[in-house]
Structure 1
């Protein structure tokens, strides 16, 4: 099918994965400029697409987590749309099944297990990716988009902000006594994946104090479900900080991070929002591997501990969380503070550091 008119894109289920898919979205729109492209995404992530030029329609995956009966009902409802092409970004069986039951004429996805029988075009996985698909997510998505007939348009991440999102941010900052032109740094101590990804709140608090002492307003962000962790960071600081757990929508988080002087975070969604806007970022990585997110690091400093149990990909650490607790706050603060210097917004360049058991730094990422 050389010129599809109706395209359905099943988007990734996690904030970070969605943002790392934006080079693929850009390429798909450029490849099919006259097609009507519908994005189907897990409820709660729709605002990531707000203001973007790639989609004509954004709809939720109504059956997500609701079982087989809900999936079939949703698929039958989608049949009326008569999609010519479906790009199935999640590698799950259910995502491919939904597209086939929805009558999509040509479904493109990666060949994994029995789901290959549901795909019209089953794309081979990258050579050497392994069971955990250790390949940069940007390239993972671009491989499918290329199979769908579209050339790459770079691998840079891209997000957009609407006036409504800016207005929401303005109201929230005003409510919390932050001037519109304030210089602020953001701490993001949570991770929806699980606590194994999270650097200790006391360590975030120590870095927050160092940033506040250097003259920055410190804002601590998180979802409503991360309120306890955000509160521990704010309460653990000797200097003043503003806790914003649950105070901002995902859409308003975009302009907040776009305006930050610095972001200190775990390997989670906030990191990718910051990267999309070129914000200097210091990121702590523990239970996961950098290989899946190894692109677009020119403005990211990565710190990891040299421990033999990582990456484990467990959501909760079953032992002592050494991959995170062995990264000292003073070393993180030393990497973060230069981002507050005059001209840093222009000149900041990221780096990668391994922390030894004795607390010494060497360049690289522990594996």
Structure 2
């Protein structure tokens, strides 16, 4: 194929789970022109990656150059003759067709069957309901329709020199080089409040990591989570617990910080997969979501989830108001899981990862 357009997922974590498939397409079609069609923040997630020849930003309410007609024109100009649709939206399939792609691969969902030339179907249980299966497997299945060998499960991300320079500034500002271990805490999640673990529990965990392991603790955050990060660090009440709330934030900085960590403790959100992509041990805290949807088979991961009668409900906000699936998960349990991972991988040196650009 001369030119292949990959319509990338819209969630940061899903983008990371798509990286084995993206890498496999690049390796299999060495002479093809590979195009990324994605939202702007998705492009930031993959900054530094060597796979794409061109990135086409697509944003429904973005500038005119990023809207449907303009993007369709760019696909036609690029001669894209095949498209792989990682998102399941009708709009993505229509855009691929209007953009001149003869081969369009995707899952037959949301009434877009007739727009697809190669259709896949999601797994269902005996009652015909969607069955939780790993998204990473679905992404691999999509690209295999183009004749790509099994991509496997090794996720991969990259940082830029600017990202690393920003992380250097964080390490210097907070005196992190003096710690043998630096653990990251990620309390956020764009999905909704149902995924959040209480800030008091994060603070208890941070104190335990400082007091019992002598670790430095960095609380990560996005632009809308600054107050949560500040509250965790303030409640922890330890000089070794710091928050990124008052530094210039970017996805690139988050990637570079995660890459340097000894361990990440996180809600089920995008940075969880940053850890896997950088081979950093990770404890993931699950509440309302099925673990199976985002299982990546990363060997250095521990998933914690409390069984409750009402879950996993897949709701953004707890419909019953008690949020038990998260509040019943104790800081003691999370610290125990974190300590096991830190002990298991204590002989691994992180120096190369911390300082490689």
Same fold? TM cut 0.5: yes
Counterpart in 2 of 1:326? 328
**Counterparts in 2 of 1:236 and 1:157: CA distance versus 1, 3 Å:** same
Q: Do 2:68 and 2:95's aligned partners in 1 also have CA atoms closer than 8 Å?
A: yes
Match 1:38 to one of 12, 35, 40 = 35
Which deviates further from its counterpart, 186-195 or 133-142? 133-142
Q: Do 1:123 and 1:147's aligned partners in 2 also have CA atoms closer than 8 Å?
A: no
Match 2:115 to one of 114, 118, 136 = 118
Counterpart in 1 of 2:102? 105
Q: How far apart, CA to CA, are the structure 2 residues paired with 1:6 and 1:312?
A: 41
**Aligned residues between the structures:** 343
**Counterparts in 2 of 1:172 and 1:236: CA distance versus 1, 3 Å:** same
Counterpart in 2 of 1:217? 216
SS, match of residue 283 in structure 2: strand
SS, match of residue 122 in structure 2: coil
**Counterparts in 2 of 1:289 and 1:26: CA distance versus 1, 3 Å:** same
Q: How far apart, CA to CA, are the structure 1 residues paired with 2:74 and 2:287?
A: 42
Q: Do 1:63 and 1:74's aligned partners in 2 also have CA atoms closer than 8 Å?
A: no
SS, match of residue 316 in structure 2: coil
**TM-score, scaled relative to structure 2:** 0.89
**Counterparts in 2 of 1:42 and 1:133: CA distance versus 1, 3 Å:** farther
**Counterparts in 2 of 1:180 and 1:140: CA distance versus 1, 3 Å:** farther
Q: How far apart, CA to CA, are the structure 2 residues paired with 1:335 and 1:260?
A: 16
Match 1:13 to one of 10, 14, 18 = 10
**Counterparts in 2 of 1:178 and 1:282: CA distance versus 1, 3 Å:** same
Verify: 1:290 aligned to 2:291, yes or no: yes
Q: How far apart, CA to CA, are the structure 1 residues paired with 2:15 and 2:61?
A: 16
SS, match of residue 44 in structure 1: helix
Q: Do 1:169 and 1:248's aligned partners in 2 also have CA atoms closer than 8 Å?
A: no
**Counterparts in 2 of 1:248 and 1:180: CA distance versus 1, 3 Å:** farther
Q: Do 2:284 and 2:302's aligned partners in 1 also have CA atoms closer than 8 Å?
A: yes
SS, match of residue 303 in structure 1: strand
Verify: 1:185 aligned to 2:186, yes or no: no
TM superposition shift of 1:43: 1.4
Which deviates further from its counterpart, 48-57 or 284-293? 48-57
SS, match of residue 112 in structure 2: helix
TM superposition shift of 1:207: 0.3
**Counterparts in 2 of 1:43 and 1:132: CA distance versus 1, 3 Å:** farther
Q: Could you list the runs of 5+ residues in structure 1 that have no partner in the other structure?
A: 348-367
Verify: 1:269 aligned to 2:270, yes or no: yes
Match 1:142 to one of 140, 143, 150 = 140
TM superposition shift of 1:164: 2.5
Verify: 1:238 aligned to 2:237, yes or no: yes
The alignment yields a C-alpha RMSD, in angstroms, of 2.4
